[in-house]
Amino acid sequence: MQTACDHTRTQIIARRDGVDYVECLDCHQVFEAEDLEPVPAEDEEE
């Protein structure tokens, strides 16, 4: 796997339903800004 990342550098990439989504500039993981919980980057719905 990859090296552990603390996700200290992030940028907001989207906002939906009052939730900001941020992307880590180091590992490019996408999170919800409020809890830094990883979310699927791709569409969830058909």
Residues at the site binding Zn ion, with contacts judged by CB under 5 A:
5, 7, 24, 26-27
Tokens 């900001």 sit at which residue?
A: 20
Q: How many CB atoms lie within 10 A of CB 22?
A: 19
Nearer to Zn ion, 4 or 18 (CB): 4
Nearer to Zn ion, 11 or 46 (CB): 11
Q: Cα(46)–Cα(2) distance, rounded to whole angstroms? A: 30
Nearer to Zn ion, 1 or 17 (CB): 1
Tokens of 3: 């090296």
Smallest separation (angstroms) from Zn ion to the CB of 19: 19
